[in-house]
A and B are shown apart, each in its own frame.
Chain A
């Protein structure tokens, strides 16, 4: 990794307060509920960018394209022939106990066979410079809007940095997203479905609608008639929707197919989708491929479907389901991080080093009793990034969410969302836990 000269972004650092003020003015906020009350909270921006060299990005890009292509192949396979299970690469159990697997999606082939149109792949860089994949997000990954709007402002605040370095412009994301949506379009206008302004990511929903020229809709403005999805217009007419970038989860999408009591879904949307009359971005049922249990198998998928060696590494992972791995996990539990496959959003993650002797023993028994429920990983020694704190610069943990868009081709957005933790001891880089974000600069040479 190269370090830019401090001076080149000190301009931005100097203007950090103004940049944050502007970001606030443009509405860069996320909503959170505290004690049942809705609050809009500003998402703090740190002016020191994460810099990725051209060389590093080149291999990350290749690795991500490869990974997402394999994951798309996997999704098609799982909802059709299931060859990978038949050939013994992925044990059947891991597919069907996954909450993300939706039997209702069996046999549906989305347009151009693309399931994950927008993939958010979380990576970390270790101290030795090596990049590791931490997790795949193939359902509704969010966060692209933040670096997008921040870049607009840092270019104003720190023009020198952009003059003197070869930083790839990231503002083409909207165009990329639009292309991706158009590629999934089955004839009609583009729409972004939001659960409403009290959703944590509402800013992003509305901002992306504006930038892509899509209609921002809520479920009560939509209906399905004759297996076609329509937007109900104010004059009593209807406009056909050809592609729906939905920002609500699968289970809530269609009360006649999934959760019957969903109030934010569109009845019979799945029938319209199954009939090929509307594209849904991302496809329902993707959860089976970004499950913690399935993560282990992604490198194997790459070999299986593409016949290639995986370019990007997974964090070293063990599945107690396999005898050898179980043995290793039992012997090294105190140095590993254990994740409950069924849990999400930072829950069900236990660091062996945090457990007492008794607790470790107890946990070993739990794992032996339910080996399929857990995965174990080596703790990666993250490369810390500098952040500005008052007058000082301090080092904090950070990850990178890369966005991979699959349209006619699979493309990696030359930027990403770098999130950091404010707490020096924390590995959790979550916006709702007081963390912030940085811009991610990819150098063109």
Chain B
């Protein structure tokens, strides 16, 4: 097609971000769920990562809310709805097939809510999400356009990993991946990085000790990565 509007490029970026947020949230919650088998209140650490208050009566309520409650902006269901919202207006860019996996994910999540073994019934979501990404890769021919969605995806993953205090080697790998994607963005387009904030990130994520100290600063820098104020210089 070769032509893409600002609105659609935004949609692609956020489709990448929300799909990834859904996926990482799901995996992280799986781990919380797992740890809670022995320890009934293991979820406070998770809340602390996002500076959220504990308003939940027990771990069951927490898990229900963070998985299925689409009015909770930190839930998996919320992210998936937003991913779908962005995807639905990108049909001709990402294909009906890709979109159908998001619908399938929504259906699967809905069914899991009714299931007696929630984790078991969430398992197919992993397959569905990998299929979604495979489909995206297959159907978007324009590298520049495909890259926008991957930038959204890697930014989100890095942001989530840092917030969830993932180990340095996992974060470092994702950062290298992000840098590769960022370098593919042509100058003068909306997803061209700001040199200032990229250098900040390079500094913080350069060594394990800096990473452990500078997590909050790193997420802030990620937030500003596409600020255009320096474009005039």
Interface residues of A (CB under 8 A from B): 24-27, 189, 197, 202, 206-207, 209-210, 213-218, 220-221, 231-236, 239
How distant is the Cα of A236 from the Cα of B3 in the complex, in angstroms? Answer: 11
B5, A233: Cβ atoms under 8 Å?
yes
Q: At the interface, yes or no: B186 with Cβ under 8 Å from chain A?
A: yes
How distant is the Cα of A210 from the Cα of B135 in the complex, in angstroms? Answer: 14
Residue in B1, B88, B89, B107 whose CB lies within 8 Å of A189:
B1
Residue in A27, A189, A218, A235 whose CB lies within 8 Å of B7:
A218
Q: Which residues of B contact A215 (CB under 8 A)?
A: 1, 3-4, 92
Residue in A24, A213, A235, A239 whose CB lies within 8 Å of B186:
A235
A27, B100: Cβ atoms under 8 Å?
yes
User: How many whole Å from A247's CB to the nearest CB in chain B?
Assistant: 13
Interface string of B62-96 (1 = CB under 8 A from A): 00000000000000000000000000110110011
Given contacts A26-B100, A27-B100, A215-B4, 9 further A-B contacts (CB under 8 A): A26-B103, A27-B96, A206-B91, A217-B5, A221-B6, A232-B6, A235-B186, A235-B190, A239-B2
Q: How many chain B residues touch A (Cβ–Cβ < 8 Å)?
A: 24
Q: At the interface, yes or no: B104 with Cβ under 8 Å from chain A?
A: yes
What are 7 of the A-B contact pairs (CB < 8 Å)?
A202-B88, A207-B96, A209-B91, A215-B92, A231-B5, A232-B6, A235-B190
The 8 closest A-B pairs by CB, nearest first: A206-B91, A209-B92, A239-B3, A234-B9, A221-B5, A210-B92, A235-B189, A234-B6
Instruction: Report the nearest B residue to A238, measured CB to CB.
Output: B3
B88, A197: Cβ atoms under 8 Å?
yes
B103, A189: Cβ atoms under 8 Å?
no
A27, B1: Cβ atoms under 8 Å?
no
Q: A207-B91, A207-B96 are in contact. Are A189 and B3 (CB under 8 A)?
A: yes
A27, B91: Cβ atoms under 8 Å?
yes
Q: At the interface, yes or no: B99 with Cβ under 8 Å from chain A?
A: yes
Q: Which residues of B contact A236 (CB under 8 A)?
A: 188
Instruction: Report the nearest A residue to B103, measured CB to CB.
Output: A25
User: How many whole Å from A236's CB to the nearest CB in chain B?
Assistant: 7
Interface residues of B (CB under 8 A from A): 1-9, 88-89, 91-92, 95-96, 99-100, 103-104, 107, 186, 188-190
Residue in B92, B107, B186 whose CB lies within 8 Å of A216:
B92
Residue in A25, A213, A231, A235 whose CB lies within 8 Å of B100:
A25
A25, B5: Cβ atoms under 8 Å?
no
B95, A210: Cβ atoms under 8 Å?
yes
User: How many whole Å from A278's CB to the nearest CB in chain B?
Assistant: 15
Q: Which residues of A contact B103 (CB under 8 A)?
A: 24-27
Q: Which residues of B contact A216 (CB under 8 A)?
A: 89, 91-92
Q: Which residues of B contact A197 (CB under 8 A)?
A: 88-89
How distant is the Cα of A221 from the Cα of B5 in the complex, in angstroms? Answer: 6
User: How many whole Å from A225's CB to the nearest CB in chain B?
Assistant: 15
Q: A25-B100, A207-B96, A235-B186 are in contact. Are A213 and B6 (CB under 8 A)?
A: no
B7, A206: Cβ atoms under 8 Å?
no
User: How many whole Å from B196's CB to the nearest CB in chain A?
Assistant: 21
Q: A27-B100, A233-B4, A234-B5 are in contact. Are A206 and B92 (CB under 8 A)?
A: yes
